[in-house]
Amino acid sequence: MLLSLKDFLKKRKTISLQELTSYFCKNPQIIRCMLEHWIRKGKVSRLIIKSVSCNNNKRCQSCLSQISETYQWIDKQT
């Protein structure tokens, strides 16, 4: 499974956690655990992307769903 994840990440370069869970049919925590293996090896980086579409300056709960957990393959060697 780790090698399948590696191959998929290398092919896609950057992908969201939601897309990974959908593709591999696993819950997010299982995918995160597998991604941690590649993060420790320096092959993957985690990106937290926040949406800037909210114009409300107050802390609103609806903005929490605008955060995307994304992963990027960063290995320079093939």
pLDDT digit string, tens, across residues 15-61: 999 999 999 999 999 999 999 999 999 999 999 877 665 555 555 65
Q: Is the separation of the CB atoms in 48 and 69 below 8 Å? A: yes
pLDDT of residue 53: 58
- Selected residue with higher pLDDT from 1 and 54: 1
User: The domain containing residue 20 runs over which residues?
Assistant: 2-49+67-73
Predicted local confidence at residue 70, as pLDDT: 95
Per-residue model confidence (pLDDT) at position 48: 83
Structure tokens at 67: 């955060």
Residue 7: inside a domain: yes
Split into its structural domains, the chain has a count of 1
Q: Residue 13: inside a domain, yes or no? A: yes
| CATH code: domain of residue 19 | 1.10.10
Residue 4 has pLDDT above 70, yes or no: yes
| 6 against 75, higher pLDDT | 6
